[in-house]
Amino acid sequence: MNARILLWPGFAWLVLFFAVPLGIILLISLAHRAPDGMIHWGISAENYLRLLDPLYWAGPFGNSLVLAALTTIVSLLLGYPVAYAIARRSGPVKNLLLFLVILPFFTNFLVRIYAWFILLRPEGWIAWLLRALGLDLGLLGSPLGVLIGLVYGYLPFMILPLYATVERLDFSLVEAAQDLGASRWQSFWRIIFPLSRPGVIAGAVLVFIPVLGEFITPKLLGGGKVPMFGVLIEEKFLGRVPDWPLGAAMALVLMSLVLLVLARYFHQLKESRWVG
Amino acid sequence: MDEVSVELRGISKRFGGILAVDRVTLQIYRGEFFSLLGPSGCGKTTTLRIIAGFEHPDSGELLINGSPATHTPPQERDVNLVFQNYALFPHLTVEQNVAFGLEMQKLPRAQIRERVGRALELVRLSGLGSRFPHQLSGGQQQRVALARAIVTEPSVLLLDEPLGALDLKLRQEMQLELKRLQRELKITFLYVTHDQDEALKMSDRLAVMHHGRVLQIGTPQEIYERPATRFVAAFIGESNLLEGQVVHTAGRRAVVQIGPLTTNVLSDSPLQLHQRVTLALRPERIQLCFPNEGHGIWTGLVEELLYAGKETRYRVRVSPEITLTVISPGTNGITVGERVGLTWDLQSLRPIPEHSA
Amino acid sequence: MGRLRRWADRIIESLLVLDTLLVYIFLYLPIGVLVLYSFSASRYALVWGGFSLDPYRRLFADPEIAPALLNSVIVAAVSTAIATILGTLLALAFERARARLQASVEALVYLPIVIPEIVMAVGLLLFFAQVLRPFFSALGLTLGPMPTVIIGHVTFSISYVMVVVRARLRDLDRSLEEAAFDLGATSWQVLRRVTLPLLAPAILSGALLAFTLSLDDFYVTYFSTTGGSGFKTLPLYLYALQGRAAIPPQMNALATLMLLASVTLIALALLIQRRTRRA
């Protein structure tokens, strides 16, 4: 039996409901929106030209890239020690720690962001704590608040691939390095970290890409003051003044950035067992 | 009196409920090739790792080159370990692997390059410096691990069953290589193995371990010719072990009764009348002869024989309860079912001390 | 020199332990707050007013909850069923096809996992508005909100199921299937009586994953149900509550219950995984 026939049902579904929609996004992005709201089909690059406006790139597009990069870096710095700590443990403690990291990932995203909403608002605990320390940061409605929410949402996505890679490393290599005179730090930096690169890249990609397209977190925690791709796209499709062609063009710009990152790192992504 | 390179005093280590190392005390002299020999699980690897610094003993002291080292971290010990699985850094080339220890010592680049080159020459891997470990064969990887460990010129080199993964021919080659290397470099080698053949061939001295305890320390000849316990007698080479009772003594000579048979025994310390003894007789020390010649000490019936090319093994029944294993070179044309005479040198029959494991 | 290094190492180690601790606190602080406030006797979700089960009472009394919950469960169940079948078939195709499938096919299947969900959501919105609805209208039928949501959910779940099942398929001992062939079984029989039974735990895990993703989904659901149909799943209901002037306290209660449901589901999934490893 040729196993290829098993491919068709799933593949056909994805073509119809995934590839075709992407195609429609492309088509609509080339269309024109008349002042009365009607869409005139055709091939025009006007939407893309509008998006070349530096205002977009200094604003929402730039914000998205910067926040995505920051989220990735912060997640890596915070998450690597955790992944390492779990990988080095054994037995029930390890499984428990792992479970505790996976759990937030499976709880409702909205719920968690909402929880941050509670924590970050001016009457909330964190603001209270900060004021006690003499800092008056308006976290809610600021990029910092959004960053916190983003790191919170995506930290498990960084920790898990890192863990998968670090766990498979041969730790006698660390002993060998120490035997040859390396300090703990040196044996980490020169042996463990380079060998965990696939995991680092996988984690980075799994954080960077979704954050680029985020809309809930910046909307809820940003109070309208932290525009990102997702927020803008939502406005253009479901806001008060819809502009589907422009929104579609934005979605495609977002998509191209994503594909750029993927093209560079897809292979490494599959190496790390998390995806494949 | 030679200098002592490594000294262990009463080192013990417990893992959970198991006593892996039990009050081990030994001294290894500078420039020696010393082996720790024993079956799997006897504690030899743990002992090695304690010396390397990767395990902390529960009690006892460790001295390296005369100074206490029990709590020194592995980075600071003048000891290098050749790992059983080589532990080569997969993302570094052969050269970079070997250079690692020197880089940790922060030596100048030119000097590092020179010493790495020399080390690679020593292990006969010059020219493979820019390859990666996965591109090398097992034997080559093993030599890289060796080069990496010796290039920093430690005073003691620890080797954890380094030849285990190699096939027979290669292993034999490497045994000679290692011995040659050790003589050239004059570093103290502490070698762990379960292969007694290897240990006897390569060591200046060795210690036999079992259940965490050191049973006997000595030169290969001492260990082979005068095993101190039943276990050593059985583990090193092969022994026929015979239980008997002393029925007559005359100074260092005695007559021992083993079942229906008797034989003369020469012992280092006088035996007592009626004392129960265990005697060890190695199969290759028994000679087969015609049963009626009057030369044979005992006679027996050949029950099995196994021809193995350079030697033949026989199982000879000498009494209803006693069967001896005999190994003779080549073949004697003896067949199963024949009666044969067995004879041996007085020196070959050794009594084993009473309190033995 | 050694002393200094030992000191530095020790400091770094403590920092790392501290970081790990802080991360776990960071991860669970909001959840803790949420659960705590779900027991607060106050008319506002964000104010503490003494211990009470009031939010839960309000939750169960809310007329909008029941339909939202029902919708969520139906959508999850149906989409999980479809996605699990399609995803498993895909996994089998990838791992058992005689010739390697083209990279582009693989890319299409992995893409939904990696791209931002909003792109898929927008695509589906356009697809439904510009293609599917007109198509149904032309046939004289109307396309309700639930089918479109189900379609959307299946679309993003397929790839996740495929990944889980494929991973297990890779680890499977091939010689078991070979033995079956050797004993005379046909391809179908081997599939039915050897492969699928061995794969069952992974398929179940994949299904649980799809179910959880569906229950939790916001983006695709949100973009698929525009047009004022009033169709809501739980996440959408939650989102709508945000819009009100004063956020009602049952929000916390709902959030806590959803949390509980998720925990149970993953614990189940992990248990199944653990059993598989022993087998």
> Which residue in A175, A180, A195 is closest to B100 by CB distance?
A180
Judge: A107–C259 Cβ closer than 8 Å, yes or no: yes
More confident residue, C8 or A248: A248
Residue C1 reports pLDDT greater than 60: no
- Indicate the number of domains in chain C: 1
Distance from CA of B78 to the nearest CA of C (A): 13
Q: Which two tokens stand for residue A266?
A: 């897809």
- Percentage of residues in chain C with pLDDT exceeding 70? 91
B227 and B258 belong to one structural domain: no
Q: What is the mean pLDDT of residues C233-262?
A: 77
Does C2 touch chain B if contact means CB atoms closer than 8 Å?
A: yes
Per the domain annotation, does B180 fall within a domain? yes
CA gap B52, B45 in Å, rounded: 10
Summarize pLDDT for C68-93 with one digit per residue, the tens.
Answer: 889 999 999 999 999 999 999 999 88
Per the domain annotation, does B312 fall within a domain? yes
Q: What is the mean pLDDT of residues A126-151?
A: 77
Residue B269 pLDDT: 81
Closest chain C residue to A220 measured between Cα atoms? C242
Q: Domain of C131: which CATH number? A: 1.10.3720.10
Q: Domain of B313: which CATH number? A: 2.40.50.140
- Name the residue type at position C153: H
- Percentage of residues in chain B with pLDDT exceeding 90? 55
Handedness of CA B129, B134, B136, B140 (dihedral sign): positive
Per the domain annotation, does C39 fall within a domain? no
Q: What would the DSSP string read from start to end of C86-111?
A: HHHHHHHHHHH-SSPPPHHHHHHHHH
Summarize pLDDT for B52-77 with one digit per residue, the tens.
Answer: 988 899 999 999 998 999 988 888 88
B169 and B317 belong to one structural domain: no
Query: Of 3.40.50.170, 4.10.80.400, 3.40.50.970, 1.10.3720.10, which CATH number belongs to A19-271?
Result: 1.10.3720.10
Judge: B87–A175 Cβ closer than 8 Å, yes or no: yes
Neighbours of chain B (3+ CB pairs under 8 A): A, C
Neighbours of chain C (3+ CB pairs under 8 A): A, B
B206 and B248 belong to one structural domain: no
Distance from CA of B170 to the nearest CA of A (A): 24
Q: Is there a contact between C270 and C262 (Cβ–Cβ < 8 Å)?
A: no
Q: Could you say which residues from 48 to 87 on chain A have a Cβ atom under 8 Å away from some Cβ of chain C?
A: 78-79, 81-82, 84-85
Interface test mutation site (partner A, options C42, C122, C124, max chain A beta carbons within 10 A): C122
B221 and B268 belong to one structural domain: no
Per the domain annotation, does B357 fall within a domain? no
Does B165 touch chain A if contact means CB atoms closer than 8 Å?
A: no
CA gap B31, B185 in Å, rounded: 9
Closest chain B residue to A175 measured between Cα atoms? B54
Query: Which SS3 state, helix, strand or coil, does residue A77 take?
Result: helix
CA gap C104, C110 in Å, rounded: 10
Q: Is there a contact between A237 and A247 (Cβ–Cβ < 8 Å)?
A: yes
Closest chain B residue to A195 measured between Cα atoms? B91
Residue A93: pLDDT band with limits 50, 70, 90: confident
Residue C279 reports pLDDT greater than 50: no
Summarize pLDDT for B143-160 with one digit per residue, the tens.
Answer: 999 999 999 999 999 999
Q: Is there a contact between B314 and B328 (Cβ–Cβ < 8 Å)?
A: yes
B220 and B243 belong to one structural domain: no
Q: Which two tokens stand for residue B21?
A: 């190392």
CA gap B351, B266 in Å, rounded: 8
Mean pLDDT of chain A: 83
Residue C21 reports pLDDT greater than 80: yes
Residue C145, domain extent = 62-278
Domain boundary among B207, B234, B261: B234
- Name the residue type at position C171: D
CA distances to B289, B305, B313 from B308, in Å: 20, 10, 8
Residue A63 reports pLDDT greater than 70: yes
Judge: A179–B80 Cβ closer than 8 Å, yes or no: yes
Low-confidence residues of chain B: pLDDT under 70: 1, 293-295, 354-357
Residue C232 pLDDT: 84
B245 and B227 belong to one structural domain: no
Q: What are the extents of the domains in chain A?
A: 19-271
Summarize pLDDT for B194-245 with one digit per residue, the tens.
Answer: 999 999 999 999 999 999 999 999 999 999 988 889 899 889 988 899 999 9
- Indicate the number of domains in chain B: 2
Summarize pLDDT for C171-212 with one digit per residue, the tens.
Answer: 887 778 888 877 777 777 888 888 888 888 889 888 988 998
B42 and B177 belong to one structural domain: yes
Q: Which residues contact B153 (CB under 8 A, 6 or more apart)?
A: B187
Task: Label the pairing between strands B33-37 and B205-210.
Answer: parallel
Neighbours of chain A (3+ CB pairs under 8 A): B, C
B259 and B208 belong to one structural domain: no
Residue A1: pLDDT band with limits 50, 70, 90: low
Residue B17, domain extent = 4-234
